């Protein structure tokens, strides 16, 4: 029976491959040859990724000012994704300053205006892309959009403060007494508690920074303290994946770590820094330093569980390592971050068709089981963030 099941799986994979469009087949063949040797200069790569995000906004099939979820080698551009558009906004403002480019700030404003227009009456935001059903408020997505709304208040003033407060107040009201958010889970993720909701807490920290409301910070800290109950001594987290908690994605591990990093940056509590370092050190054990490969899923002992990289997770974690390097001066974090960023740069194309030029794949190889055959808007966002940290004048 096992042999028959294996044959069926192989035949299924062959059928799926044969049905792929020619461009997807060509990309798969190219990636299967291995990581390209080309070296792209960091600032050039950031500029190209930023331009791609602009094209993703312009080419969203919903034509609303939001950013297309992806470009797919199978079916083209997607519709706008509120969640990730939210946290792309501060990246656009930062790039506007970095490159002295007011047009990029204008793009951020259009994203903000669209998000305000789709905010639900209770203050929350829907899950999924525009057009997804059911349209119900989701804690995680609201937290990510809150990051953008707080950035809008910081950069543009009080115009976006009512929407920011409404979203933050809704998160505070809907939080369970133990700090978890259970009542408004995403209908597009597996059931159960999610430790990576610390990334929701980050949104509340940002709202607290610009509004001075201690309730927002208190709720954020309560969630991070709750999540740390799920952290193992070696830094690994239970309940930290969209669908397979026994082998979490580096993407969701990047979420949980960044949330704890932001909790430390806000409170400067020493025990929160120690919690960050446990997970950061665990991830150091998972990366292959000779080339920067970080398995897209890991087991509880930090062994790789797959042979493909989740490129989003790689650059998210690189960004966390660089922030921790800035705090601790530990060169291991800097060195791992630089090699991780370089790995992802080597997967990027900076020539060719505009749909993929400057874009970041969901996985390498492109057939890996995260964002298969897709270039994801949040991958480009975290790519830019981690590289701007690398390029910071404060980085030795």
- Tell which of 177, 206, 230 closes a domain: 230
Specify whether 224 is located in the same domain as 275. no
List, as one string, the DSSP characters of 43-110: HHHHHHHHHHHHHHHHT-TT-SSS-BSEEETTTEE--B-HHHHHHHHHHHHHHHHHTT-HHHHHHHHH
- Tell which of 174, 205, 230 closes a domain: 230
Specify whether 374 is located in the same domain as 311. yes
128 near 188, Cβ under 8 Å?
yes
> Which segments in the chain show pLDDT lower than 70?
1-18, 396
Specify whether 273 is located in the same domain as 222. no
Q: How many residues does the chain have?
A: 396
Specify whether 134 is located in the same domain as 210. yes
- Integer Cα distance of 305 and 296 in angstroms: 8
Tokens of 191: 């059931």
Specify whether 156 is located in the same domain as 287. no
User: Is 110 contained in some domain?
Assistant: yes
User: What dihedral angle (degrees, nearest 10) is formed by the CA atoms of 87, 89, 93, 95?
Assistant: 70
CA 249 vs CA 37, 63, 277, 311, 345: distances in Å: 26, 31, 19, 10, 20
- Integer Cα distance of 30 and 312 in angstroms: 20
What pLDDT was estimated at residue 15? 45
Per the structure, the count of domains in the chain is 2
Specify whether 218 is located in the same domain as 297. no
Specify whether 190 is located in the same domain as 287. no
User: Is 94 contained in some domain?
Assistant: yes
Specify whether 276 is located in the same domain as 210. no
User: Is 123 contained in some domain?
Assistant: yes
Domain around 140 = 82-230
CA 318 vs CA 17, 113, 185, 292, 342: distances in Å: 32, 31, 28, 10, 10
User: Is 65 contained in some domain?
Assistant: no
User: What dihedral angle (degrees, nearest 10) is formed by the CA atoms of 6, 371, 228, 323?
Assistant: 130
- Tell which of 208, 230, 252 closes a domain: 230
Q: Which helix (H) or strand (E) holds 310?
A: strand 309-310
Specify whether 187 is located in the same domain as 306. no
User: Is 384 contained in some domain?
Assistant: yes
Instruction: Give the angle subtended at the CA of 67 by the CAs of 66 and 72, to the nearest 5°.
Output: 140
* SS3 of residue 123 by DSSP: coil
Tokens of 218: 């208190």
What pLDDT was estimated at residue 394? 76
Specify whether 215 is located in the same domain as 98. yes
Q: Tens digit of pLDDT for each residue in 98-115?
A: 999 999 999 999 999 999
Specify whether 175 is located in the same domain as 285. no
Neighbour tally for 8: CB within 10 Å: 10
User: Is 356 contained in some domain?
Assistant: yes
What pLDDT was estimated at residue 2? 53
95 near 384, Cβ under 8 Å?
yes
User: Is 310 contained in some domain?
Assistant: yes
User: What dihedral angle (degrees, nearest 10) is formed by the CA atoms of 124, 130, 136, 137?
Assistant: -20
User: Is 25 contained in some domain?
Assistant: no
What pLDDT was estimated at residue 295? 98
CATH code of the domain covering residue 156: 1.50.10.20
The conformational region for residue 216 under phi > 0 = left, psi -120 to 50 = alpha, else beta, is: alpha
107 near 129, Cβ under 8 Å?
no
Specify whether 286 is located in the same domain as 335. yes
What pLDDT was estimated at residue 14? 46
Tell me if the pTM is above 0.85.
yes
What pLDDT was estimated at residue 191? 86
Q: Which helix (H) or strand (E) holds 265?
A: helix 250-267
160 near 113, Cβ under 8 Å?
no
């Amino acid at each position: 029976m096992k042999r028959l099941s294996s044959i069926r799986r192989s035949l299924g994979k062959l059928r799926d491959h044969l049905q792929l469009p020619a461009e997807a087949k060509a990309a798969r063949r190219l990636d299967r040859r291995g990581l390209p040797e080309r070296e792209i200069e960091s600032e050039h790569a950031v500029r190209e990724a930023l331009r791609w995000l602009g094209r993703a906004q312009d080419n969203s099939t919903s034509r609303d000012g939001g950013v297309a979820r992806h470009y797919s080698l199978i079916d083209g551009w997607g519709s706008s994704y509120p969640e990730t558009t939210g946290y792309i906004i501060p990246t656009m403002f930062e790039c506007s300053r970095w490159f002295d480019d007011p047009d990029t700030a204008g793009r951020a404003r259009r994203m903000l205006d669209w998000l305000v227009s789709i905010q639900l009456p209770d203050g929350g935001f829907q899950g999924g892309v525009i057009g997804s059903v059911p349209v119900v408020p989701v804690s995680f997505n609201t937290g990510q959009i809150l990051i953008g709304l707080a950035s809008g208040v910081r950069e543009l003033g009080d115009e976006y403060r009512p929407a920011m407060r409404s979203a933050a107040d809704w998160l505070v009201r809907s939080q369970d007494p133990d700090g978890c958010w259970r009542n408004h889970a995403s209908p597009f993720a597996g059931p159960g508690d999610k430790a990576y909701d610390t990334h929701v807490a980050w949104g509340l920290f940002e709202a607290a920074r610009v509004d001075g409301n201690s309730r927002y910070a208190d709720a954020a800290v309560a969630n991070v303290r709750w999540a740390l109950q799920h952290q193992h001594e070696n830094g690994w987290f239970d309940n930290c994946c969209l669908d397979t908690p026994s082998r979490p994605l580096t993407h969701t591990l990047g979420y949980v770590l960044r949330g704890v990093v932001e909790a430390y940056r806000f409170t400067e509590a020493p025990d929160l820094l120690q919690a960050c370092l446990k997970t950061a050190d665990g991830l150091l054990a998972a990366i292959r330093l000779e080339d920067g490969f970080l398995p897209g899923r890991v087991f509880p002992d930090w062994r790789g569980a797959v042979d493909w990289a989740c490129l989003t997770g790689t650059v998210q974690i690189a960004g966390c390592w660089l922030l921790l390097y800035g705090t601790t001066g530990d060169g291991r974090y800097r060195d791992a971050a630089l090699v991780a960023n370089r790995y992802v740069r080597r997967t990027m194309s900076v020539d060719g068709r505009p749909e993929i030029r400057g874009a970041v794949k969901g996985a390498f190889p492109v057939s890996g089981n995260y964002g298969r055959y897709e270039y994801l808007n949040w991958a480009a966002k975290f790519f830019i963030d981690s590289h701007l940290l690398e390029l910071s004048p404060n980085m030795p």
